[in-house]
Amino acid sequence: MKRTATLLAAAALMCALPATVGFKASAQSDAPQHIQKASVFYDLTTLYPKGADNSYFNGFGLGYNIDFRVSDALPLYVGTGLDLRFLFNNETIIDADNYNPLEVKTKTRFINLNLPVNVSYRVPVAQGFYLTPQLGLDLRAQLDGRLQTNASVAGPESFGLYSTTTQNDYNLFSKDDMGDAHYRRFQFGWHAALNFEYNRFNLGLSYGTDFVKLHKNLGAGHFLVSLGYVF
């Protein structure tokens, strides 16, 4: 994912160069004073705990953005918005190295609200087609985070003919449930994005990470693919 961020940043520079020379006049005439966009998107979030394997969350979201032009000479915009994301992860862990085989099924979900603040540059490429590289910061509020576990242990003398099952439901942000391992409700991070707009339809690619993490030993990367309508 770090390579994805590098490619997005490089694409942003490549798009900015022609806008400052051959496309300058066209960019000025085609740039509206403000741009609004409603989007749906796919979210792939990677959690990378210190000293353990990564966990991958698939999810979806809904969002709204508005950008305001801040330069009379260039199609330069500053914007913000709001989006709601839902993330899910299901895993099965099996430990069969003893006389009591253990199987643990986990279901984890997050619901979070995101407030981006970004700077973008809208580059005209052809009639009705624009490229918009973007850099921004993100404030994230975790509305809900739950971990459900279902652990089954088979009895050795029956060779699995019977088992005992334990079910638990944890609030990942509760100190009562998680102790010192509880997660932070608020994160702060960054993102780099590249948007392709054609006849008001927008395809966006974005990647970012967090400065303020879910937990001091738990980082996260966020890769988004969005489909939006510009109005």
Of the listed ranges 83-92, 93-102, 137-146, 214-223, the one predicted with least confidence: 93-102
Domains identified in the chain, total number: 1
Q: What is the pLDDT of residue 102?
A: 77
Q: Which domain holds residue 162?
A: 2-230
Q: Are the beta carbons of 122 and 31 closer than 8 angstroms?
A: yes
From CA 185, how far away is CA 111, in angstroms rounded? 11
Tens-place pLDDT, residues 189-218: 999 999 999 999 999 999 999 999 999 999
Mean pLDDT taken over the chain: 87
Q: Is the pLDDT of residue 154 over 70?
A: no
**Rounded Cα gap, residues 185 and 112, in angstroms:** 9
DSSP 97-128: SSSS-EEEEEEEEEEEEEEEEEEEE-EEEETT
Domain harbouring 44, CATH code: 2.40.160.20
